[in-house]
Amino acid sequence: MNSPLETTPNKFWEGTKETVKTVVYALLIAGVFRTFLFQPFWIPSGSMKDTLLIGDFLFINKMAYGYSYASCPSIRIARLGIDISAEDFCGFLKTSDHSRIFEREPKRGDVVVFRHPTSGEDYIKRLIGLPGDRIQMKDGLLYINDTPVVVEPAGNFTEISEQQGPQGFIPRCANSTAPTGYVPGGQECVKERAIETLPASDGGDPVVHDILNIGNQPLDNTGVFVVPEGHFFFMGDNRDNSKDSRVPQGGFDGGVGMVPFDNLEGRADRIIFSSAGRSMLYFWTWRMDRFFKAVD
């Protein structure tokens, strides 16, 4: 007959092994879910206002375009010096023609999360240009294949000039008299809002969505961008507050340039939760009207 001194350590180690197994299984299930089905994404900046606001929380559909190396997770914890990219995990999936497994072509107007072609950071923008398209901005108006898109004024978008989200960004405003585009804290910040209609890329209905502008900016007039095969052209809906494909990779302020097909992670379909505060725990800042809101 075993004594308590002999059985207690055995029970302890058996319990520890079961706990470790449970944690490992949970991580594996979470990894599979995040890689192949849906990935959580928290909106950190205002480049997609007013379609997406800082503090919106959504799941992106990883099945929408098939799978590539970018479908794999990345682990970045700056405080611990951990930086493991999706390419570190799944670089063997990269191909010279940017193809994907079970690939499906994105549609113009989709709101897409993708990996920045050089930094590997996650970005979320609207897909504007398909392979072969000619894209240009003239006086703030978007031209696709030498044809201006339809834009209709839709009043103003207003918010308070204050720090927003965990990173404390302050919005730039059309009613500012300062070169920086800021107004004093606590005052009303106004942007011009318009409804833009993008021509359908698949014979379906055009994509209608809001865009915001703060006035004449350097990227309101560009040359013609020709989208190469296997790549896409992206822009933010908050046109004067967006780092996007209008600036080449390596250009000023973190340009995105043309984004390869295999850098796409998934499509944003629906906002699950939204908080206007510096933390999602501040329940008094929750935006109840944005829960389960479709992304148009």
Catalytic residues: 47, 125
Distance from C-alpha of 76 to C-alpha of 78, rounded to nearest angstrom: 6
Distance from C-alpha of 54 to C-alpha of 9, rounded to nearest angstrom: 51
Please name which of 294, 293, 49 lies closest in space to residue 169, comparing C-alpha atoms: 49
Supply 214's token pair.
């703060």
DSSP 260-296: EGGGEEEEEEEEEEEB-SSSTT-GGGB-GGGTTEE--
Distance from C-alpha of 75 to C-alpha of 26, rounded to nearest angstrom: 17
Contact assessment for residue 195 and residue 209, using Cβ atoms and an 8 Å cutoff: yes
Cβ-count burial 54-79 (b if 16+ within 10 Å, e if not): bbbbbbbbbebbbbbbbbbebeeeee
Supply 83's token pair.
């930086």
The residue behind tokens 């993008």 is: 198
Distance from C-alpha of 247 to C-alpha of 259, rounded to nearest angstrom: 12
Which segments of the chain does DSSP mark as H helices, in order? 4-36, 86-90
Contact assessment for residue 63 and residue 277, using Cβ atoms and an 8 Å cutoff: no
CA dihedral angle for residue 3, residue 8, residue 14, residue 18, rounded to 10 degrees: 150
**Longest CA–CA separation in the chain, Å:** 89
